[in-house]
Structure formats: C-alpha cells, structure tokens
Amino acid sequence: MKKVFLGMLLIALGFGTMSLTTNSENVTKASVNNQKAIETENVVVGPTYTAPWLGDCCESPFSAIYRDIANRGYDPNTTSYMMISVGTNTVTYTITN
C-alpha cells in the first residue's frame, strides 16, 4: 500500500513540475516577443537610512519605514522610498525622488 501511494505521489509531482516548466517557458517567450521598446525613467536616489524595527509578527517593516520617515521630517504620504533589506530588528531603505 505504501509503495502504491508513493508511486502515485511521484507521478503526480512529476506531471505538476512538467506543466509548471512548460507554462513558464511559454510566458517568457510571449513577453519577450511582444516587447517592442523599453522606456526608462530617471530616478534620483536620495539618502539611505536604517530604521529600527521590532521584527515580530505584529509590525510590518513598512510601518517602521513610515514612522522613521516622519521622524526625519519628511511627509510619509508623499515621500517615495525603496526598501533595500530587512533584518531581524532593522529595515534599510533609500529615499527616491
């Protein structure tokens, strides 16, 4: 009974992996073939900051960045930023304009 179950599981996993691989290749080909031009935009990168973060399940790293931006005198609603890394108790981000 165990061998039959493991055999069926192996077959199911094999078909699932095969279909995922096939689909992702088709998506890649379609997106590359349909791409006509790439538009770039100038982004000015500002200072990089490290904000303290509780690092537990109750606080998002975005909340820590939002709070740190407000403490530094920026308006959190209009300031653009890019998160660089999240540690156990710190979040590093860069302000972009």
Question: Which three-class secondary structure state does DSSP give residue 88?
Answer: coil
Q: In the chain, which residues have pLDDT < 50?
A: 18-21, 27
Regarding whether 18 and 59 lie in a shared domain, the answer is no
- Provide the pLDDT for residue 53: 85
Mean pLDDT of the chain: 75
Kindly report, residue by residue over 27-51, the tens digit of the pLDDT.
455 555 666 666 666 666 788 999 9
- Provide the pLDDT for residue 55: 75
- Provide the pLDDT for residue 35: 63
Regarding whether 68 and 26 lie in a shared domain, the answer is no
Regarding whether 56 and 25 lie in a shared domain, the answer is no
> How many domains does one find in the chain?
2
Domain range for residue 13? 1-39
Q: Give the pTM.
A: 0.53
Regarding whether 91 and 57 lie in a shared domain, the answer is yes
- Provide the pLDDT for residue 56: 74
Regarding whether 87 and 50 lie in a shared domain, the answer is yes
Non-local (6+) Cβ contacts of 85 within 8 A are 91, 92
From residue 53, alpha-carbon distances to 40, 76, 78 in Å are 33, 17, 22
CA distance 52 to 59: 11
Regarding whether 82 and 50 lie in a shared domain, the answer is yes
